[in-house]
Structure 1
Amino acid sequence: MVKQLFAAVSLLALAACSSEAPEDTSGDANRIAQDTIIVDGHIDVPYRLDAAWEDVSGSTEKGDFDYNRAVAGGLNAPFMSIYTPAHYDGTEKAKTHAEDMIAIVERMVAEAPTKFRIAKSVADVEQAFADGVIALPLGMENGSPIMGDLENLDYFYERGIRYITLAHSKSNDISDSSYDVNRQWNGLSDFGQSVVQRMNELGIMVDISHVSDDAFWQVMDLAAVPPIATHSSARHFTPGFERNMSDDMIKALANKGGVIMINYGSAFLTEAANKYGPAMDEEYLKYLADNGLEDSTDLKDQFETNYRKTNPYPYATTDDVLDHIDHVVKLAGIDYVGIGSDYDGVGDSLPTGLKDAASYPALVAGLIERGYAEEDIKKILSGNILRVWRTTEAYAASH
């Protein structure tokens, strides 16, 4: 009887232990997010607003970013992507489109100067943080607005551009793209090499997201200051996806002092999400062939709607983002990883738990739960990328 009673008490104790709530890290996570400069390497607000203007100085129903969500999440230094679609490459529209994107950010600031401020230096970011204003540094996504003329680098530097993603979805006059089978330069063009050198001299960070592997390695050889990957993830989790970075590339970037800023798009994070689109495309082609049908936009839209009902999209999770951060830290160290969410740029593919600019505390909570010290979390949130930016500024000041 005593043994039975002891066993019963033991089972109750075990049940109580197993049902204990996990440690609540939300308080510390919110404190860290609010007390720390958070730099997100890539947010596509300008392109979103170009398609349909919204007043992001308050709350918006659409998109992933607005002032109120940014404040709630502690986001105070999002790089605004000055994105130029590849179909403008080689045309006059490339430059004017980039100017239009900059003008959108300038409008955001002009209409809400107590909430937003363009930042052209690390000092500007720090001052904005001290003043309680969201800093908006500018990064050019796709180098085609340079238009084959190095003087345009100087022009865009004066306009506030502080990094340039050398190419986007197509090979341009600077670099081959990871997305393009046309490798016309086998990496960088001769002009592209001059672009990298001039960017270093001016104080514009070189962004190797989107470029081909050959172009990446050439940048590593050529760059005088650390390059960055503003919105890329680890290829380890998405084998064969060249848009992400291999382990060797991550280590080489770290050896150069650079930073990989993890992209939140589900297709960047898991193999299941990465292969979802190609699998759907393959099924669509099979559907056309089996039924003797010709491709059309309406037919494809209908097929995709039905396909998604029976094959739900495999969204990544906050843990998947944390896995990428862990992977980089194990490969290269804590000093070489950051955040490049690609908010407003990856559509409805964001991970569960990290759906908009209010969610940075959730990432911080996950880092705490995985054992990251507060000092190291702050490096991920901004310390690492600000170090590279300062290094870039110092090199330019001496040349």
Structure 2
Amino acid sequence: MRFPFVFGLTLSMAAVPALAATNEAAHRLAQDSIIVDTHIDAPGELMSHWDDLGVATPGKEFDYPRARQGGLAIGFMSIYTSPDQDNAGTAWQSANTQIDAVEAMVGRHPDKFAKLTSPADVARQRQGGKVLLALGMENGAPIGDDLSQLAAFHKRGVRYITLAHSANNRISDSSYALQKKWGGLSPFGEKVVAEMNRLGIMVDVSHLSDDSIRDVLAATDVPVIASHSGMRHFTPGFERNISDELAKAVAAEGGVVQLVFGTGFIDAKAASDLQASFQAEADFDRENAALVAAGKPARSKDDFEKAWKDAHPMPVTHIAAVLDQIDYAVKLIGVDHVGIGSDFDGVSGNLPVELKSVADYPNLVAGLQARGHSDADIRKILGGNLLRVWTAVEKAATAR
């Protein structure tokens, strides 16, 4: 996930109360479970500033030492491309370059990382304390109009695709788009879903409009995932988060909703500000176009974005907001259909105080234990449910 301009980092750590030490039982369960985080934006961050993530990298939220500290077993590296890259025809190039970056991480540190392409390989590849890196493509733009690119990216290791991002594309309408193009999936998008089913690539419905999610569920033969979504119950009117109705529908088909940590998804004011920013930006662009058409100088987009951020500071959030989302989802759709997709490195540091990096999964475990979740259920939430869905999608593909 990449947030639009509205989300500048404004929280003051000086104002944050100290976090109590996580108990030993939580650390032990985090290390003993198979934690699967389905959305970490490390590859895109490497494109803007390279770092060796095999060693401690304080400026990033994912690196090997903290992943081991937090108990992360499998991190889906997000291969993100923007609508602008789609429009410019550079999304394919960017996606392949990011995949190269992930493979370079593995090649540079074969004792620390391994690239994961099948849930059947988890136990073998984890030996020796390795953190496994799987690939999820955020935005289907890199395939362009060419259905055969799905097989090419599957060969490169992509195992889920978020069909659209912050704008409508050839495949699907976006939840963020003020005006929808297709009224759901496009005709090409229906073919994309069918081909993903055939290949064994999980369909990800995060970022999609409600009608698009309904169309995906009608078209797919296998369970789907929402790789990094919040529950709309907590952010009324924010289409980017999944509604109760659609969460139930995803679960009814055997799928899983991976709950996100980012403040913009778990705090009602932050989500409302983001929703309002779309309209404000559209109004600004329209007014600027009118100025240019009249022969007058355009206003500065940078100045507009700074003014918006200054007027809409990001609220401080705590881990309780994430735990509330998990509790609600478990009650609504059942513990077998809930997981985690943090959005680390994708939300400009706008995260709960106690969930700032991949080192902090034990804090989540401790919170779930304190709220009465059994260790068996916590294991499902941490990764067991996602692995079940991935296995089902892979099995259906090989049976075709």
Shorter-chain TM band: 0.7 to 0.9
* Stretches of structure 2 lacking an aligned partner (at least 5 in a row): 1-19, 285-297
Distance 1:71 1:31 in 2: 12
Name which of 215, 223, 228 aligns with 1:226. 223
Distance 2:204 2:153 in 1: 15
User: Which segment is superposed worse, 231-240 or 86-95?
Assistant: 86-95
- Which residue is 2:335 aligned to? 334
Task: State the structure with more CA Rg.
Answer: 1
Q: 1:126 to 1:277 in 2, by over 3 A?
A: same
Preserved contact between residue 64 and residue 343 of structure 1 (Cα < 8 Å): yes
- How many Å apart are 1:338 and its aligned residue? 0.4
Task: Give the 3-state SS of the residue equivalent to 1:358 in structure 2.
Answer: helix
Q: 1:306 to 1:109 in 2, by over 3 A?
A: same
Distance 1:225 1:42 in 2: 21
Name which of 158, 161, 166 aligns with 1:161. 158
When the two structures are aligned, how many residues end up with a matched partner? 369
Distance 2:248 2:61 in 1: 31
Distance 1:125 1:45 in 2: 21
Distance 1:258 1:145 in 2: 25
Preserved contact between residue 109 and residue 118 of structure 1 (Cα < 8 Å): yes
- How many Å apart are 1:297 and its aligned residue? 4.9
Q: How does 1:182-221 map to 2 (within 5 A)?
A: 182-221=179-218
Preserved contact between residue 232 and residue 244 of structure 1 (Cα < 8 Å): yes
- Which residue is 2:32 aligned to? 35
Pairing 1:296–2:283 present? no
Q: 1:279 to 1:251 in 2, by over 3 A?
A: closer
Preserved contact between residue 22 and residue 363 of structure 2 (Cα < 8 Å): no
Distance 2:279 2:78 in 1: 32
- Which residue is 1:14 aligned to? none
Specify the code of the residue in structure 1 equivalent to 2:270. Answer: A
Preserved contact between residue 338 and residue 385 of structure 1 (Cα < 8 Å): yes
Specify the code of the residue in structure 1 equivalent to 2:300. Answer: S
Distance 1:133 1:100 in 2: 23
- How many Å apart are 1:61 and its aligned residue? 2.2
Name which of 148, 152, 167 aligns with 2:149. 152
Deviation readout 1:240-272 (Å, 9 max, x if unpaired): 000000101111110011011111111100212
Identity of aligned residues (%): 49
Deviation readout 1:94-114 (Å, 9 max, x if unpaired): 211110110110111111111
Pairing 1:102–2:96 present? no
Distance 1:109 1:168 in 2: 27
| TM-score, length basis structure 1 | 0.87
Preserved contact between residue 72 and residue 358 of structure 1 (Cα < 8 Å): yes
Preserved contact between residue 178 and residue 279 of structure 2 (Cα < 8 Å): no
- How many Å apart are 1:279 and its aligned residue? 7.0
Q: 1:279 to 1:230 in 2, by over 3 A?
A: closer
Preserved contact between residue 231 and residue 341 of structure 1 (Cα < 8 Å): yes
Distance 1:87 1:373 in 2: 45
Specify the code of the residue in structure 2 equivalent to 1:223. Answer: T
Preserved contact between residue 273 and residue 316 of structure 1 (Cα < 8 Å): no
The ranges of structure 1 where at least 4 consecutive aligned residues each deviate by more than 6 angstroms after the TM superposition are: 278-286
- Which residue is 1:356 aligned to? 357
Distance 1:186 1:356 in 2: 37
- How many Å apart are 1:304 and its aligned residue? 5.6
Task: Give the 3-state SS of the residue equivalent to 1:97 in structure 2.
Answer: helix
Preserved contact between residue 173 and residue 209 of structure 2 (Cα < 8 Å): yes
- How many Å apart are 1:300 and its aligned residue? 4.1
Preserved contact between residue 80 and residue 139 of structure 2 (Cα < 8 Å): yes
More relative contact order in 1 or in 2 (CA 8 Å, sep 6+)? Answer: 2
- Which residue is 1:291 aligned to? none
- Which residue is 1:16 aligned to? none
| TM-score, length basis structure 2 | 0.87
User: Which segment is superposed worse, 213-222 or 117-126?
Assistant: 117-126
Distance 1:305 1:40 in 2: 29
- Which residue is 2:65 aligned to? 68
Specify the code of the residue in structure 2 equivalent to 1:339. Answer: I
Name which of 67, 80, 85 aligns with 1:83. 80
Name which of 50, 53, 72 aligns with 2:50. 53
- How many Å apart are 1:132 and its aligned residue? 1.6
Deviation readout 1:266-289 (Å, 9 max, x if unpaired): 110021222345678999999xxx
- Which residue is 2:345 aligned to? 344
Distance 1:250 1:370 in 2: 22
Distance 1:327 1:265 in 2: 17
Specify the code of the residue in structure 2 equivalent to 1:317. Answer: H
**In angstroms, what is the RMSD of aligned CA positions?**
2.3
Q: 1:249 to 1:278 in 2, by over 3 A?
A: closer
